[in-house]
Every structure is written in C-alpha cells, then in structure tokens.
Amino acid sequence: MSSSSTPLLFVHGFWFGSWCWTEVMGHVASTGRPVHAVDLAGHGLRARRPRCLTSRPFDPDDLATEVSPVSDVHLEQAGDLLVAQIKRLGRGAPITVVAHSMGGAVLTNAAQQAPDLVAHAVYLTAFMPASGVPADVYAGSPENAGGLVSEALRGDPAVIGALRLDLASADAGYRRQLRRAFLGDVDPVTADAALGLLSPDAPLEITRGVTHLTEDGWGAIPRTYVTCAQDMALRPRLQERFITEADAAFPENPTHVVALNSSHSPFLSMPARVAAIIERIS
C-alpha cells in the first residue's frame, strides 16, 4: 500500500470528540486518501454525563462530589478500543494514526499492543509517555508549569473518578478560562461552538495507567511529534520532554519533529496547515 493510499485515523484528546477533526479531514479527503476519526472510550458518542450538570436546581456541591459515570474507563480499555478501530479502518493492514493531547497516551498503548497495525504514529501536542510512566505524572510536572487545565477542573478527581469541567457554567470568566486553555487562537465563533461540544468528564484512570514499551513494539514504529508553541494546556517544555525521553529510550528510531505556532487546538485554528503537515509526514 503506497503512502498516498495508506488510511489516516484521527484520535482526539480529553473532553473533545471525533468532531474536532472535521475540517482537517475535509482537506485530507479532498486528496482522495481514506480518512476517519474515532471517539475515545468515555468521549463523544461514548460519553456519559453526570446528572449534576442537568439537574435543577443546580447544586455546585453535587458537581464536586458526584462520582463520574466514566470512572470505570481505564487505559487498557481505551487502548483495546483503539486497536479495534485501527483494525477496522486498515482491514488488517498498517495505517497512520494521528493523536492529540491525552489521545497520545492511548495511541501509545494501542501501538505497543499491535505495532504491526501502525505505519506511523503522529503526536499532535500530545502525551507521549515513557515506558511505565503514567500520564498524570507529566501533567503535574515542572515542565507543565503555567498550564491552565488544572485550574479549570471542578471537584477532586480522586473522589469523582474523572477530570471534570463545568460545562453548565454561565460564568463568563470561567468560559474565557476554558478558551484560553484549549482554544487560544481559535476564532470566537468556532471556539464557542467547540465548548458546546466538549464532554464534561474525562476518565481519571486513563491518566493513571501505564504502558511498558519495547524495541519491537512502540519503539519500532516511525513517529512524529508536532509541537505547538502557544499551547496553554500541554506546555512546550513538556512537549520537548516527551521527545527527549523517547529518543533516549529508542535512539535508533528518533522522533521527527515539526513545529506549529499554535494553541492546543490547531485542528480548529489552522486545519489546512495541520492537514498539509500530516500529508507530508505520512
């Protein structure tokens, strides 16, 4: 199968859904290439929302304490689902997979499970954890200092089993905070539409799971990391750490790096540019 006909699969990050890739997919599909986007476990059509966000009268105490309906979703489950999705699109042949944000941790898990099914792994300002290291270690690391996501969370993740956003909030300041964290360079109309499509709960156990990497597994797959210089969710220093750790662990298969001057969501702010980069990579 030639690179121009190798299918492309897009994987979103926490709180987003397959919908976020629509504009990028349109550009890629115009070239005739097979392309698809999927929902991660606990997201999109697989999302389950806490009652507290729709019950009236609204009780902020419930927002902070109601156990999430996605608290049982863990990394292995998400990885298994992604492997099945990869198999479906590629029909058993290897495909290129592009992951964003926490979707990168799931891609790493799936690729280690089935390296023969991944022709190229592309991490778009994504978590790319080292062997045996959970994603939550990176989220709270010094390299991620200045990130705005933790400030936007509501409730104790250890209590509710999820990373929860208050998507029912009418607080204009809070909504501006979400836009700064995820959508800094996205036009206001598109940003507001995207906020309306986010899932409120992201499964905590995905961030706590680990994947043990091997040279003939994930370490053998060609990989590209697309950095985003204005990212306020996953800071540039942390993006660099992922690349450094991967190259130290698998020096015979170094990471190809491409730079974007964008916020956390370039698929919404510069979809044509993202599509062009991915086409050149794969």
Annotated domain spans of the chain: 8-281
Exposure string over 219-244, b if 16+ CB within 10 A, otherwise e: bbbbbbbbbbeebbbbbbebbebbbe
Spell out the per-residue pLDDT of the chain, length 282, in tens: 445 678 999 999 999 999 999 999 999 999 899 999 999 999 999 999 898 888 888 787 888 899 999 999 999 999 999 999 999 999 999 999 999 999 999 999 999 999 999 999 999 999 999 999 999 999 999 999 999 999 999 999 999 999 999 988 778 999 999 999 999 999 999 999 999 999 999 999 999 999 999 999 999 999 999 999 999 999 999 999 999 999 999 999 999 999 999 999 999 999 999 999 999 986
Tokens in use for 255?
A: 């990471």
Residue 185 CA to residue 6 CA, distance in Å, equals 31
Q: Is 131 left (phi over 0), alpha (psi -120 to 50) or beta?
A: beta
CATH 3.40.50.1820 fits 8-281, yes or no: yes
Residue 280 CA to residue 84 CA, distance in Å, equals 26
Within a 10 A sphere around the Cβ of 104, how many other Cβ atoms? 27
- pLDDT value for 99: 98
Kindly list the distances between the CA atom of residue 198 and the CA atoms of 72, 164, 220, 264, 279, in Å, as whole numbers in the listed order.
19, 11, 34, 14, 27
**11, β-bridge pairs:** 38, 99
- pLDDT value for 2: 46
| Cβ-proximal residues to 107 (8 Å cutoff; 6+ apart), any chain | 11, 82, 97, 99, 121, 123, 126
Supply the angle between the helices 172-182 and 188-197 in degrees, to the nearest 10. 100
Task: Tell me what percent of the chain is helix, strand and coil, each rounded to the nearest 5.
Answer: 45, 15, 40
- pLDDT value for 171: 86
